[in-house]
Amino acid sequence: MSDCLYCPGTSACKHRSLADRAQRPLTPASGREEIVAPRATQERVRLGSSLFMLHGSLLDIACRLCSAVIPNGPHQTYNRLVHGLQHVRAGNATAITQGLPAGAMRFEIT
């Protein structure tokens, strides 16, 4: 790969041909001959974990079982309660009130 006459010292510029701009193959830094393949970013849902997780702008919440999104707003608490109780009735989640303030409920995946 040669330096461009107009952009000296750059590894890619618009003046080079497409063949010159192709990325070089990655070489492992540890000296091993194989590059480790990345693992899946989303793991399987674990038992005992929370039914809901933060979503998007971190104000909305999403159900881990069915991926339903409950938007932020004045009715988010009610909608979370109704949705969580649907999973409790289906046997996929457990409602927990122990150690929480009166009227509060937490849902865990069973």
Could you read off the pLDDT of 13-29 as tens digits, one per residue? 766 665 655 556 655 56
Task: Count the residues in the chain.
Answer: 110
Please check whether residue 91 is in contact with residue 81, taking contact to mean a CB–CB distance below 8 angstroms: no
Could you read off the pLDDT of 36-54 as tens digits, one per residue? 555 554 556 677 789 999 9
CA distance linking residue 46 with residue 35, whole number of Å: 29
Rounded to the nearest integer, the mean pLDDT of the chain is 78
Whole-model pTM above 0.85?
A: no
Would the CA dihedral through 9, 14, 15, 18 be positive or negative?
A: positive
